[in-house]
Structure 1
Amino acid sequence: MNLATLLLFLPACFALNMAPGPNNLLSVRNATAYGFRTSCLAGAGRLAAFALMIALASAGLAVVLLQASELLFYGIKILGAAYLLYLAYQLWSADTQAEAEKNTAPLGLAALARQEFLVAIGNPKAILIFTAFLPQFVDPTAPVPGQFLVLGALFLLLEWIAISAYAYMGLHMRRWFAEPRGQKIFNRCCAALLSAAASVLLLARRA
């Protein structure tokens, strides 16, 4: 892998990291509810899921597990969509007035990180992105595992930057939606977007 390849990889990769999606929406929501630092730390759950996917892709197992198994692919897809719909329901039905009066965070950091992990790992298309995207920048004439390690580490670093960027956005949105009524509107907008993401996931087909 040479410098020219890396210069092509970095902007293309960062575009994927910054693309709006369920996990980035969670970063915004978590920062709005719990603050910038907590949202960034919760993103470690997402990074753990992506690291696992990159490891599978580098070992060549992702194609075997998902592309070769229609049942597994659709099973993961349905579970992932169901979890997104569950999160959407929680946001839609949340009692923002009661939350404001309690002035306490209903979820701890571990629970938020687990939420990030489950949303990321529940999307089979994410693994297929790693199997289709990362190999384009791998030189087959050189040792492949080391290249996957470098590309994977860069991907996770850029993903962490994306987490921070969306969390920062959520931090400022918290000032706009500080009142229970505004928080309710924001929660329901997030719920609608998560439901839309679940619908897109259900309509996804295997490559």
Structure 2
Amino acid sequence: MTDLWLFLPACFALNLTFGPSNLLSVTFGAQQGVGFAVVAGTARLVAFAPMILASALGLGALLSVSAVAFGVLKVLGAAYLIYLGVRLLIDAKPKDLGETTAPMSLRAALRSEGTVALTNPKAILIFTVFLPQFVNVDRYWSSYAVVGLSFLVLEVAAIATYAALGRLARTFAATRLHWLQRASGVGMILFGGLMVFARQPAEL
């Protein structure tokens, strides 16, 4: 069966890698709490699940070597991240202590999480290069299920971790939340720019 003692810590390290999805968790955690961020993060899991299945079926490997498909995916992902970053920068304004702002709806947060997850080339790398290394070919489907489910469970832990960090940041700097929002916006734009230069797994 899968060597979970080796897979789990290596996988969790990947889950905790700071990227656009985890940056969303920090932002949502700071703005609306850990619970909201975790619920919003379920859209990420819903996006990842069929991607893992596609990888198991071999479709992920096909996508990873298709220059056109990979190029379209990363351009769409980069454009959306830059859009999110610009929106965060526009909305990031100092607030008076008594002033309140309309929170992002759960529907909008779910849409952001799902879109970022689906258009992130990093996910293709993980699902087509990393996960298969821990699959037992003699028990292919059951082994892939264990590996895939373990990744999703650890992703929930990563979402909660980053959301808690965001909430903690707000607790200690409640009147400076707009600076965190600005940093998140700049981070999104940077990630979008870097995504344009992402290479296909076959080229790595």
**TM > 0.5 between the two?**
yes
Secondary structure in 1 matching 2:200 = coil
Matches within 5 A, 1:134-153: 134-140=131-137, 142-153=138-149
Post-superposition shift, 1:58? 0.8
**Matched residue count:** 200
Secondary structure in 2 matching 1:104 = coil
Which residue does 2:197 correspond to in 1? Answer: 203
Which residue does 1:185 correspond to in 2? Answer: 179
Q: Which amino acid aligns with 1:23?
A: S
Q: 2:152 aligns with which of 142, 149, 156?
A: 156
Q: Which amino acid aligns with 2:25?
A: S
CA–CA distance in 2 between the matches of 1:136 and 1:129?
Answer: 10
Post-superposition shift, 1:173? 1.0
Matches within 5 A, 1:97-176: 97=94, 101-105=99-103, 107-140=104-137, 142-176=138-172
Post-superposition shift, 1:120? 0.8
Q: Which amino acid aligns with 2:99?
A: E
Post-superposition shift, 1:95? 4.8
Post-superposition shift, 1:144? 1.1
Q: Which runs of 5+ in 2 are unaligned?
A: none
Per-residue deviation, residues 96-155 of structure 1 (Å, max 9, x unmatched)? 3579734431x2112211111111111133122211001111122x13121111111110
Q: 2:70 aligns with which of 68, 73, 76?
A: 73
- When structure 1 is superposed on structure 2, of 13-22 and 96-105 the one drifting more is 96-105
1:163 and 1:95, CA in 2 relative to 1: closer, same or farther beyond 3 A? closer
Per-residue deviation, residues 41-85 of structure 1 (Å, max 9, x unmatched)? 101011111112101111110111331x21111011000000000
CA–CA distance in 1 between the matches of 2:150 and 2:164?
Answer: 21
Task: Judge conservation of contact 1:63–1:128 (CA < 8 Å) in 2.
Answer: no
Which residue does 1:54 correspond to in 2? Answer: 52
Task: Judge conservation of contact 2:64–2:128 (CA < 8 Å) in 1.
Answer: no
Which residue does 1:16 correspond to in 2? Answer: 14
Secondary structure in 1 matching 2:136 = coil
Q: Which amino acid aligns with 1:81?
A: A
Task: Judge conservation of contact 2:92–2:181 (CA < 8 Å) in 1.
Answer: no
Per-residue deviation, residues 9-57 of structure 1 (Å, max 9, x unmatched)? 0000000001111111110100111111101110101111111210111
Q: 1:88 aligns with which of 58, 82, 85?
A: 85
CA–CA distance in 1 between the matches of 2:198 and 2:121?
Answer: 9
Q: Which amino acid aligns with 2:120?
A: N
Moved over 3 A (4+): 95-100
Question: What is the root-mean-square deviation in Å for CA atoms of aligned residues?
Answer: 1.6
Task: Judge conservation of contact 1:76–1:124 (CA < 8 Å) in 2.
Answer: yes
Post-superposition shift, 1:199? 1.8
Task: Judge conservation of contact 1:62–1:128 (CA < 8 Å) in 2.
Answer: no
